[in-house]
Amino acid sequence: MASSPGTAASCTQRPCARHLSPMSRGGEMVYIPDDSDFSSFRDQCENLEGWHCRYNKGGVTVWSQGQEESCTVQKIKTRISCKDVPAETLYDVLHDTHYRKKWDSNMIETYDIGRLTVNADVGYYSWKCPSPLKNRDFVTLRSWLPLGNDYIIINYSVKHPKYPPRKDFVRAVSLQTGYLIKANGTSACVLYYLTQVDPRGAWQRKGRPVYPQAMKKIYKAGLKYPEWKHKHDPEYKPWVYPEQNTLPSVSLDELSVQHADSLENIDETGLPEDHLNMSDHEA
């Protein structure tokens, strides 16, 4: 994404982690995040040390780390204040795959593959990339944790034997992605989004700043969700009520860490920049 006026990309930050998922201990073992992982993620969202502000306008702020010119795996953090949207409502929005079809215009398909625990599952997501880019998809291990009036959702990419890379998609890799939703009173919240994704063959995003656009879309989805949910199975929230979850169980033994260097890499750096966009899922 482009630097906002008065800011510049930093070349002095630590290098990109190209192959190691910070969410997987040792880079090899698939595991379900524990309290220390959620605490670490929250600290990354709230701590500004080592982050460079790239955009600050209209209630949305974007920071980055590891902005080397040759780096395609950058760590991005965004924040938006959401008036008139309680934290628990935005938490529901980010979980509700049926509602995502209403606001995520770039989504091709998303579904839950299976459950690991009452607060962890494995899921699939694919999104449209503008021509001539190839479309992307993910398989991720996702976990979530309510913290009083605040909420955290985090994920990282895994391999599942029944969901290998497809010929019609480029399998992207989430090294670390997630949301922190902080309550701001009873009827408002602050949403943080932090991501470190390898899109495999990443283009240099020098065009319009897509993160603010996507964050505002999530905010608007939060404003409209209560009315929509009232008409669409309002009592069904398996992310809140685990007894409603009817997904098949998945064993950790079935999964392995998805390493980026084992996947197809496509050179798209020379493609036109004006038409490039990212999924609302990414931001």
The string of pLDDT tens digits covering residues 82-99 is 999 999 999 999 999 999
For residue 65, pLDDT over 50 is answered with yes
Average model confidence (pLDDT) across the chain:
82
- The contacts of residue 18 (CB under 8 Å, 6+ apart) are 73, 198, 260, 261
Nearest to 78 by CA among 223, 278, 216: 216
Residues 128 and 207: their CA atoms lie apart, in Å, by 18
Contact 221, 95 (CB under 8 A): no
Residues 235 and 262: their CA atoms lie apart, in Å, by 42
The reported pLDDT for the residue numbered 69 is 47
If you write DSSP's letter for every residue of 83-98 in order, what string do you get? ET--HHHHHHHHH-HH
- State the pLDDT confidence band at 200, using cuts at 50, 70 and 90: confident
- State the pLDDT confidence band at 241, using cuts at 50, 70 and 90: very high
The reported pLDDT for the residue numbered 23 is 57
Both structure tokens of 248? 């098949």
Residues 125 and 133: their CA atoms lie apart, in Å, by 17
Contact 199, 72 (CB under 8 A): yes
